[in-house]
Chain A
Amino acid sequence: MESRWGPLAQYDWSVMAPEFTILIVATLISVIDLLMPNNKNRQVLAWFGIAGSLLAGWFVFQNVGHGVVEILNGSYRIDAFGNVFKLIFLAGTIFTLLMSINYLNRGDGKEEVIHHGEFYYLTLTALLGSMIMSSSADAITLFVGLELLSISSYILVGTRKKHLLSNESAFKYVVSGSIASATVLYGISFLYGLTGTTNLFEMADRLGEAYMAGNALLIYIAFFLTFVGLSFKISSVPYHMWAPDVYQGAPTPITAFLSVVSKAAGFALIIRFFITAFRSIVDYNAPNGPQSVFISELLLVIGILAAISMIVGNTMALRQTNIKRMMAFSSIAQAGYILVPFATLTSLIFEQTVYYLIAYLLMNMGAFAIIMIVTGDRGTEDIRSFAGLYHRAPFLAIAMTFFLLSLAGIPISAGFFGKFYIFMSSLVMGNYWLAGIMIATSVVSYYYYFGIIRQMYMRPGETEAPLRVPAGIAVIVLIAFIGTVGVGIVPDSVLNFIHVNFPFMDIIETAGPVK
């Protein structure tokens, strides 16, 4: 194979099987969609997408436990960190597709999305973008992943073509998203200027030298620009204001996708990017001996922003009457919580982040599935649409109660332990103020989460008619429910499973030279 393809043929391409699977399935769906008669139902395409995601998940499992593999000249790496995030993305996408099938085929003539095929394959390309984000070790590659995810989501948000709010939100999303991307690029350009490379590992070595050579200010600028831009993806302060409008306007399955998959992808990117590139900046001239600038200064800023996210998200949510806007503010607050392990840089930051994201995946997907059914049935997104839900669909109401309790962090639930671990570790690291804000804002959040519970059990609804729950939604709710409760009862086994199977520290190991 020493032909004109050169080194390309020498890479172990099989490690990219998950990405290829999604790419092929997305392409196939778009082609089939073109060839299919217009009046044919596209549901089968969604099932194809789900099958593809399951297959990709299986391929990811094949990569687990094989150490670090780098391909494409070190710009793309398969490691434990990337694998676990890919599994989260895939699970989130499968939930999204299941919800979409029901969302798009309501069967009551009120369907708002006309182009079903596009809906399905754009979800898959967004997923592909997320997967690339979680595995890239090069500024260019990660930007490609980021844009693939972003552009796919811009379109998905606007798929309710005749809906004013949806159009408005898609427009807002494109504009603010583009500004965010530009900010990231601008930040990266500083890094390139300082180090002359786009590879994160080479960047890491040279940034330390650049710092000692007196370029501290430029490093700070680069850090803040990239973080501000990336905070758009996780909808945390300072780039969070798009979330309420977009969450409200987007089709509900896409709202769920944005709040779980897109957010998790943002976290994957932020954690990998900053830990890889910035970790070795050390100030050797500090008064008390060498001091890590990354920990003492940069992460402190992230901690402050996380705290502001918690405060803004939880207090603004109090005033919302639209359930999707309320969930948007809730997700801003949750982003603040999930940033805490990173900001405090505990020894278990990966395990804690991943544990919380799994809990978040379960409880948020479950909650959005129920929100979709209820708001769709009542034709309004006001939280009053939940009134009397307990009498109409007791199981849904009980499941929703558990999801909300879990989001609020009340024991015994997945969300409680997620928060508890984060809380403990930030105390262990001595960040008392951050832990304090976390607890205080959690109490505030009780008010709005319990507002929904109040509607479900204590307010009479306009109708007492039993609510029909489609099978697909019932499956999502059931899995999410069992997961939320189960992960809450045996928190240790889950955390241990993650710890044993995913040796996260290999995130900063480089693989040996290409064979």
Chain B
Amino acid sequence: MDSILLTLLTFSPLLGLILLIFIPRTQTGALKLIGVLSSVLPLILAFVMYGAFDLKQAGLQFVEKLEWFSIPAEQVQFPINYELGVDGLSMPLVVLTAIIGFFAAIAGTIFVDKRWKEFYILFTITLTGMLGVFTSQNLFLFFIFFEMTLVPMFFLIGIWGFKDREKAAIKFFIYNGIGSAIMLIVFVALFMSVWTLNFSEIKTAFTDSSSPFNAQGSPVFIGEGLRYGLFIALLIAFAIKMPIAPLHTWMIKAYQESPTPAVLISSGVLIKIGAYGLLRFNVGFFPDVAGQLAGLLAVLGVINIIYGCILALVQNSLKLVLAYSSLSHMGIILLGVAAMNEVGFQGAVFQMVSHGLIAALLFFIVSVIFERTSTDRLDDLGGIAKSMPFVSGIFLTAAMASAGLPGMSGFISEFTAFLGLFKEMPIIAAIGTLGIILTAVYLLRAVLNTTFGPTADRWKVLADAQPLEVLPMVLVLGFIVLIGVYPSVLSEPLQATLQNIVPRIGG
């Protein structure tokens, strides 16, 4: 109760923001340094917290609670609290966010070429928003932090992006704006059904068989219709965020036009918020409905996987290959969730973390190549392994991790997700595994077309990775391998929390 560690962690990037305001815009070195440092602080705090995290405990840890303001409704005042906390589900995602934040901050020093001051100010706000999304423990706070990531991302894409950046920015914002509007409606509807905003209180209200909200005939009984309605609405909101086809077009455009740090943030963390919401709210609050609709989720997941794979196969642009690859990998998360058992959920969370790291690494590598060649087209590139052996090597490794090579995080997450689903829906899972084969095909196609083959004259003198580029690549690859060979770092904190969710699922 007395710990303020979580507040410190969540708002620590803002310390950097305050410093940044006072640094003149001409001091680019200092701006970059502070920018990176403001992401190091949460990284350190996240690891400190992970170290202090009690693996055996299923409930919330590092809880903080303060009264913020109250909503007047009729004659009563409903307090809205500032409440933070982490459990086994959010802890890995907080660490992921901190790692990706650091990664993106370094990417900013390399790939951002103008207006560093504004860039890092917006970056720190986004980082705080992302950390807040995973640490907040009530719906209102979640919504505020969620919005806090949208507005700065609009600027990051629209100012520092590539040629068609403004369209991409507005598309990003409108799609996500619609998503958050739907989310807000559901949140308010939830609030007005059970008169609380706190996650665990809502969960208890909906899942505890002794609560009046579940008792047929009680005046506050919440019927099937409302439960299904809320579940579907939430699913749509998070389907935009994740994204789930056919609501994915904003992501493709955004990944194509965003500056590298924004892509890292977006592919690494932002789209995981959708999956987090799916687990935390859809499954957490409505386990009975989730159990009924598991088939729907599984079908959506398979569509995502196959659709993403097929489109990734025919793209000529590396960025688009990776964008559709993200779509397909989000499908695996859906399959894990659809399994509705502990193994499946574990696979889903594994995939969230694993894909966050791998996608960010891949996008980083593509940017490194793009920086030197000014192209990401497969038919222009080829044979750059001769001039850039290190980058090409990492590229191949990361692609293999993404394709699920054993020993890397991709394998263990896809394996567990499918393992979970095979128990429940073997046919759908079997179709889904086709995706794994296709993934290997399109990734190899992309990597081989880029790095192998005859080297064109203009690619013979490319510089290999600089120390500043090597450091984050190796660091992230390290985490990918660590999860691959020692999955307990992730599974142990998860287990206790997931065991808490699973028994309530109906079906």
Interface residues of A (CB under 8 A from B): 346-348, 351, 405, 410-412, 421, 423-425, 427-428, 435-436, 439-440, 442-443, 446-447, 450, 453-454, 457-458, 490-493, 495, 499
Contacts and interface: CB of A to CB of B under 8 A. Distances in A.
Contacts of A428: 73-74, 192
B181 interface: yes
Contact of B73 (A425, A440, A446, A499): A425
Contacts of B174: 443, 446-447
Contact of B170 (A421, A425, A447, A491): A447
Given A410-B151, A428-B74, A457 B159 contact: yes
Contacts of A347: 74-75
A420 to B, nearest CB: 8
B170 A424 contact: no
A347 B170 CA distance: 38
Nearest to A412: B144
Given A348-B72, A405-B151, A421-B72, A446 B173 contact: yes
B177 interface: yes
Interface in B66-91: 68-75
19 contacts: A346-B74, A351-B72, A411-B144, A424-B73, A425-B72, A428-B73, A435-B188, A439-B184, A440-B181, A443-B174, A446-B173, A446-B177, A447-B170, A450-B154, A450-B173, A458-B158, A458-B159, A458-B166, A493-B69
A411 B151 CA distance: 10
B250 to A, nearest CB: 13
A320 to B, nearest CB: 16
Interface of B is mostly: helix
Contact of A439 (B69, B73, B154, B185): B185
Interface string B148-166: 1001001100110000011
B158 A457 contact: yes
B232 to A, nearest CB: 15
Contacts of A446: 173-174, 177
A393 to B, nearest CB: 14
B178 interface: yes
Nearest to B160: A458
Nearest to A390: B118
B147 interface: yes
Contacts of A351: 72
Contacts of A453: 154
Contacts of A424: 71, 73, 188
Contacts of B192: 427-428
Contacts of B147: 410-411
Given A436-B185, A450-B173, A457 B74 contact: no
Contacts of A499: 72
B169 interface: yes
A439 B192 CA distance: 17
A446 B174 CA distance: 7
Contacts of A411: 143-144, 147-148
B69 to A, nearest CB: 3
Contacts of A493: 69
A435 B181 CA distance: 11
Nearest to A347: B74
A496 B15 CA distance: 32
A412 B143 CA distance: 11
A443 B70 CA distance: 25
A332 to B, nearest CB: 20
B169 A454 contact: yes
B69 A454 contact: no
A495 B72 contact: yes
A442 B174 CA distance: 11
Output the residue of B69, B72, B184 with the most chain A CB within 10 A: B72
Contacts of B159: 457-458
A307 B144 CA distance: 26
A458 B155 CA distance: 8
Interface in B214-251: none
A495 B166 CA distance: 38
A257 to B, nearest CB: 30
Contacts of B148: 411
Contacts of B169: 454, 458
Nearest to A455: B166
Given A424-B73, A450-B173, 6 more contacts: A421-B71, A424-B188, A440-B181, A458-B158, A492-B69, A493-B69
